Amino acid sequence: MSSARNPRLVAAKARLDRLDWWRTPVRIEGLRLYTTPWFFRLPWLRRFDGYAFHRVILLRSDDVSDDLVTHELCHVWQMQHRPIRMPLSYLGTGYANNPYERQARAAAVATRSDGGQNEPVA
């Protein structure tokens, strides 16, 4: 399925398009979304349910939340603007305190239909 027709990517893009955090909106053309449970069996990835690369988002299962898809698409958006700095930032700051991670969490919360009243994305 093309990314422009993938309903989960289209919905996540619509959420992120409400934010003006980067100079251009997130582009989903050519982006792929795959469910790959085996990927998350790797020891350093067991704690995650989603992972974003420049042109691919991997999900642990099909039933992950729309918040997580939005969170991972925010990472793609970040990499579209800072393709080297964003991935390398994890080497210096780690995961929990990474500013790109905090921004992706905030994007999921800020764009919820309930106005961010539920628990934040991990």
pTM of the model: 0.90
Query: In the chain, what's the furthest Cα-to-Cα distance?
Result: 37
How confident is the model over 47-91, as pLDDT tens digits? Answer: 999 999 999 999 999 999 999 999 999 999 999 999 999 999 999
Rounded CA separation 115/83 (Å) = 30
Residue 13 Cα to chain centre, angstroms: 10
Q: Within 10 Å of residue 80's Cβ, how many Cβ atoms?
A: 16
DSSP 76-91: HHHHHH-TTHHHHHHH
Answer whether residue 118 shows pLDDT above 70.
no
The domain locations on the chain are: 7-110
